[in-house]
A and B are shown apart, each in its own frame.
Chain A
Amino acid sequence: DTGVSQNPRHKITKRGQNVTFRCDPISEHNRLYWYRQTLGQGPEFLTYFQNEAQLEKSRLLSDRFSAERPKGSFSTLEIQRTEQGDSAMYLCASSSRNLGDANYGYTFGSGTRLTVV
């Protein structure tokens, strides 16, 4: 297992289109987080899964956003009717315990950079 994998790495889409991103966490990690990072800012929490249950959604996650984690394995984040303001890096992280490993915290994926034109 080589870590948290995210696909695609980059996505350019036209305004109004739908996009879906995928995150494959480290296999033994039952906790999965999505964050959004806009240019020059720190990552902002979007949502959290423990196994297949979505336990928290940020107010940043409008009705156009939906996330799933079927069977508690990989997760998808879908954005419908994309807007230019959705342009950002979408980061996925996983862990096996609350607040991550005691030595290094969460493990983050490489992210998916979304550009809405």
Chain B
Amino acid sequence: ELKVEQNPLFLSMQEGKNYTIYCNYSTTSDRLYWYRQDPGKSLESLFVLLSNGAVKQEGRLMASLDTKARLSTLHITAAVHDLSATYFCAVASFSGTYKYIFGTGTRLKVLA
């Protein structure tokens, strides 16, 4: 059974600092997704990573995927307050029907 773990679960950081969120998963998969969720809101797609070594960047966020290590990272550069949200990774499961298995989420708070 595919399990997805994120760390840290909570992250409080100062504006302007850099940090990385980690997403580990337990079984083979070559597709990984990052979503953002604001309080009380739904999930907003950030990145889709479709192969080993994939790297995508949008603004201050950069995501990468290492399928051999079963690890994805979401790197935050020079954080700003607007990035405060909960970030989820989701891994594609090919057991049964194709679907996403989500991590527990990382709650990020950027302090001014």
Contact = CB atoms under 8 A, between A and B. Distances in A.
13 contacts: A41-B105, A42-B88, A42-B103, A43-B90, A44-B102, A48-B99, A55-B97, A56-B96, A99-B98, A99-B99, A102-B48, A104-B45, A105-B33
A65 interface: no
B104 interface: yes
Interface in B28-54: 31, 33, 35, 40-43, 45, 48, 50
Interface of B is mostly: strand
Interface in A20-41: 33, 35, 40-41
Interface of B: 4, 31, 33, 35, 40-43, 45, 48, 50, 88, 90, 92, 96-105
A105 B96 contact: no
A41 B48 CA distance: 21
B5 to A, nearest CB: 10
B99 A56 contact: yes
Contacts, number: 61
A17 interface: no
Contact of B43 (A91, A102, A103): A91
A92 to B, nearest CB: 9
Given A99-B92, A102-B50, A42 B42 contact: no
B104 A41 contact: yes
A111 B35 CA distance: 15
Nearest to B99: A45
Contacts of B101: 45
A110 interface: yes
Contact of A42 (B31, B96, B104): B104
Nearest to A105: B33
B105 A45 contact: no
Given A48-B97, A99-B92, A43 B102 contact: yes
Nearest to A110: B42
Contacts of A44: 102
Given A44-B102, A56-B99, A99-B98, A108 B42 contact: yes
Given A102-B48, A104-B48, 7 more contacts: A33-B99, A42-B105, A99-B31, A102-B50, A108-B35, A110-B41, A113-B40
